[in-house]
Structure formats: C-alpha cells, structure tokens
Amino acid sequence: MPYDASHRADPSAQQLTDTLRHVRAAYARQPAPTARERIDRLDRLHNAVLDYKDRLVAAVEADFGSRPAAETLLMELLPVLQGIAHNRKHVRGWMRPSRRETPLMLAPSTSKVHFQPLGVIGIVVPWNFPLLLSLSPLVSAFTAGNRAMIKTSEYAPQTGAMLQEMLASAFSDEEVVVFTGGVEVATEFTKLPFDHLVFTGSTQVGRVVMRAAAENLTPVTLELGGKSPAIVHPSFPIEEAAARIALGKGLNAGQVCIAPDYLLLPRDQVDAFAEAYEAAVRKHYPTLARNGDYTAIITERQHDRLQGLLSDAAAKGAEVIGINPGNESLEGTCKVPMTLLKQVSDDMQVMQEEIFGPILPLVPYDEFDDAIAYVNARPRPLALYYFDWDRARGEHVLAHTHSGGVAFNDVLSQGVVDDMPFGGVGPSGMGHYHGKEGFLSFSKAKPVIRKGRLDAIAFIAAPWGNRLYKAFMAFQFARFRKKR
C-alpha cells in the first residue's frame, strides 16, 4: 500500500508507525549523506525560517495571546539561524574520521572513528519555545545526516500548524515530517522505535517518556528543567544583581526551562534586593494589561497553576510581593505580574515544583557555605547562576555544585551559545545538543580498524611457547612497570 502523507493532524498510532517506516526506508536508500547534502538541508531550513519569519512570529503571538515579537525573534529565531550558520561552518570537520592510536600487536594497521548518522530522530516539542525547541534539535539532526519526525505541542497549535507548513515547503516527507495533536498523539509518538528521541518538558513527563523509549531501547536526550538556583555573594552589588535577574526572569514571563527558580542571597540584603528588583521590573514593564512587551501565560490552566502556587505560599506564611506598576486589573489577560516571595519554607509547593512563571522566591542565608549546601541538598538543576566578581570563589562554586550549565553574573545566557553543549544532569535531564555535541549525540561513533597485507600477529600466535611470542610479551610488559 502506498504511503499516505495526508494525516499530519491527530494521526493514529498506525499512521505514525507507517510514517516512521516511510522515512526510515528513505534513509536506508541514502544512509550516508555527503557534507554538501547536509549543508543543502541546512540552507533550505535557513531560507525557510527567513521566508516564514513574520508568519512564525504571528503564530507564536496568537498561541500566547500576548508575546512580543522581539522575544520570539531574539530568543527563538535568531538562535536557530546562528545554530545553522555554526553547524554549516563546521560540519565538514566534524564528519572527518578521527584517527586513533593503534596497539603495536595489531601493526601494521590504522584505527579511525567514523561518525555515521543514526537514522530517524524523533523530536517532542514543548509549548514555551515552540520554534527554538523544534528547529534547534532539527539542525543537529540534519548536521549529523539524519532525518526527523517532529511532534509539536497541543498548547501551541497555531505555531505547530505554521511549522508544518514551513517545513513541508522546504523538505519532502522523506526528510522531515511534522505532526500536531494532543497528548494521545504524543504518547504514541514516544512509543515509536526511533533511532534517537529528543524530549523537552517536565521531569515528571520525562520519566514516562524514558519508560516508553526503554521498550525499544531507544536512546534519549531529555531536557527537563527543574529548580535552577541563583546565588548572590555578599560582595556583589545587590542593585546590579537585581537588574540582571529581573531582565532574565521577565523574558517570556519566566516560562523558560533555564529561568532562575529561586534566589539565595545574604539575609541582610533581602529587602534591598526586593526594592531594586521592583524598580527594575517597573523600568522594563511600566504597565502590564495592554503592554505587548510583557508575555502572557500560555493557557488558563498554566495561569491557574501559578495562582495556586501563590495562594499556597501565602496560606503557609509567605509574603507575596506582586509588582503591578499601574495597579491594573489583569482579569481576562492571562498575565501574572512579576512576583517576589519572602519568608518561604520548604513545605510550600512553590519550593517543591518547577515554577515556570514570573515568580521568584527569596531564600536568605547567613553563611556562604550554607547556600552551597542548600543547592546540593536538592536535585541537580538544569542551570545554576552565581553572582560574584571573584574568580576563585566562582571556581569553588563550579567544583562544589552540579548543574546542566552555569552562568556567572547573568541568567539564561549559557543557553544561547551554540558552540557549547546544552543539557541537564540527573533529574534535570540527560544528553546534549547544540553545536558539535549535537552532531555527536545524533551520530554513531563507529570504530574502524584497517589492517595491511602483512598479518604481524600471526608470527606470535599459538603454540604460545614460540620465541617471538615470548620476546614480544617481554618487550611489552617491560613498558608497564609499577609506578613509584
């Protein structure tokens, strides 16, 4: 039966399976795309993003209800274009076999590692950055010579439909296929026997995805987030820390997997930070309700969840400081003001769940080592932010904490450098993409040894009492003396 490419919205499990077979068959016909062919795919993606730029921005705006074009351009499309340019520049070098040292007993031989495409990569996209988190893994997949299937988020339906249209305009259904649909589609999608699966989302759902992938022994890259801390050293100017954190926390209204989820700061600087943070927020967002520069929460469900976190915190003794410069009613806007929480405790939901919104709990410490201990007593986060001009103390923090990535004296910035791997550790995820690490994640590093005409090892083969064997082993073990 010929493959039916018409079922891209709400496909059945069988239609998903048929699509994977179709794309995998295309890969089998061309399992080793050249650098030129990979660059051609990157170029087509580059051109498609530019052609659809305005339509993509409008689709994201429609899904969020209110999201500035500047954020979509700055945080989604520009990083994708930068990633394409970086990978295009380096793909030939990354593809080159890596020469390795060959042991003497295999002489004369050469040893090299070849980097082979895996095949078909599955990509499950979240709603918070629906363009970046679909196209950035696709860039890595294409660079490594793979094909892809993408499942977009049901919470960003217009963006998903536009991605579907854009990629279909530039690629055949043998190169990349985009599916929309609800959680049932996502569940069936993650059950497919992909050659690699990329999932971005919550830790809770990540566990479900990993269990599904395990049935097929499908390797996974999981980007899971978690509660990323920021730490301010007593010596760092508190006003500067507040300004930088407010700028990062305000982007996408905090709906960012690497956004700071709580702030550790000296006890005697809590009030000063709160005042400086409020001033910074007022500067960036003098109004909220009709301000197109301030992003809305994606759905009523997410809005209600954030309000529930605030209500729970207030009921358990937290001081809630909502920053609404114009004292406006936000009814019907799905917006949540930038909010600080003082006097938080571990029993509050806001200190247990990933916030994923514009709320920042303030956790005071008395001794600096207490802040490090606080971080280490909790699951390893996707990001850690440390504010301190002293490099030696910074190195101490690096050595004594674990996180997926780190930024000194800033927030979020480590996530936009395409020449560095992006990924979590432990509960915040596994695996990497971006740049060379993305190429490696979606390639099989295949060891290859090539022997010459002379088979030297035959001269020392059994019977093992022969003189050449004894001489060879004596020479070899003479090289490996005990270390003093």
Paired residues of 444 in beta bridges: 116
Is pLDDT larger for residue 105 or for residue 411? Answer: 411
Predicted confidence at residue 2, as pLDDT, reads: 45
User: Which structure tokens are listed for 169?
Assistant: 């305009």
Angle between helices 183-190 and 203-214 (to 10 degrees): 40
Half-sphere exposure of 93 (CA within 13 A, CB side): 7
Predicted confidence at residue 20, as pLDDT, reads: 97
Predicted confidence at residue 189, as pLDDT, reads: 97
Rounded Cα distance between 403 and 379, Å, is 9
Residue-wise pLDDT tens digits, 399-427: 999 999 999 999 999 998 989 999 999 99
Comparing CA positions, the residue from 340, 324, 231 lying closest to residue 276 is 340
Q: How confident is the model at residue 482 (pLDDT cuts 50, 70, 90)?
A: confident
Distances (CA, A) of 2 to 5, 8, 209, 366: 9, 16, 30, 69
Rounded Cα distance between 275 and 287, Å, is 18
Is pLDDT larger for residue 6 or for residue 89? Answer: 89
Q: How confident is the model at residue 367 (pLDDT cuts 50, 70, 90)?
A: very high
Q: What is the 3-state secondary structure (H, E, C) of 145-204?
A: CCEEEEECCCCCHHHHHHHHHHHHHHCCCCCEEEEECCHHHHHHHHCCCCCEEEEECCHH
Q: How confident is the model at residue 1 (pLDDT cuts 50, 70, 90)?
A: very low
Q: How confident is the model at residue 6 (pLDDT cuts 50, 70, 90)?
A: low
Predicted confidence at residue 359, as pLDDT, reads: 98
Distance of CA 263 to the CA centre of its chain: 22
Predicted confidence at residue 52, as pLDDT, reads: 98
Residue-wise pLDDT tens digits, 204-256: 899 999 999 999 999 999 999 889 999 999 999 999 999 999 999 999 999 99
Q: How confident is the model at residue 7 (pLDDT cuts 50, 70, 90)?
A: low
Residue 37 has pLDDT above 70, yes or no: yes
Which residues belong to the active site?
A: 223, 257
Q: Tokens 């390639």 identify what position?
A: 443
Handedness of CA 138, 11, 197, 157 (dihedral sign): positive
Residue-wise pLDDT tens digits, 466-480: 999 999 989 988 888
Comparing CA positions, the residue from 321, 318, 314, 328 lying closest to residue 285 is 328
Rounded Cα distance between 159 and 225, Å, is 22
Predicted confidence at residue 3, as pLDDT, reads: 47
Number of Cβ within 10 Å of residue 211's Cβ equals 11
Residue-wise pLDDT tens digits, 294-352: 999 999 999 999 999 999 999 999 999 999 999 999 999 999 999 999 999 999 999 99
User: Which structure tokens are listed for 150?
Assistant: 């993408």
Give backbone dihedrals phi and psi of 444, rounded to 5 degrees, phi first.
-95, 120
Predicted confidence at residue 412, as pLDDT, reads: 95
Paired residues of 176 in beta bridges: 148
Please give the torsion angle defined by the CA atoms of residues 31, 37, 39 and 43, in that order, rounded to the nearest 10 degrees. -120
User: Which structure tokens are listed for 371?
Assistant: 């802040």
338-342 and 319-323 strand pairing: antiparallel
User: Which structure tokens are listed for 125?
Assistant: 């996209």
Residue-wise pLDDT tens digits, 61-101: 999 999 999 999 999 999 999 999 999 999 999 999 999 99
Comparing CA positions, the residue from 309, 307, 361, 314 lying closest to residue 335 is 307
Angle subtended at Cα 157 by Cα 156 and Cα 158, rounded to the nearest 5 degrees: 100
Predicted confidence at residue 424, as pLDDT, reads: 94
CB 402, CB 380: distance < 8 Å: yes
Predicted confidence at residue 416, as pLDDT, reads: 87
Residue-wise pLDDT tens digits, 241-296: 999 999 999 999 999 999 999 999 999 999 999 999 999 999 999 999 999 999 99
Rounded Cα distance between 146 and 138, Å, is 9
Predicted confidence at residue 465, as pLDDT, reads: 86
Residue-wise pLDDT tens digits, 148-167: 999 999 999 999 999 999 99
Rounded Cα distance between 235 and 122, Å, is 46
Q: Tokens 């201990």 identify what position?
A: 373
Percent of the chain topping pLDDT 90: 89
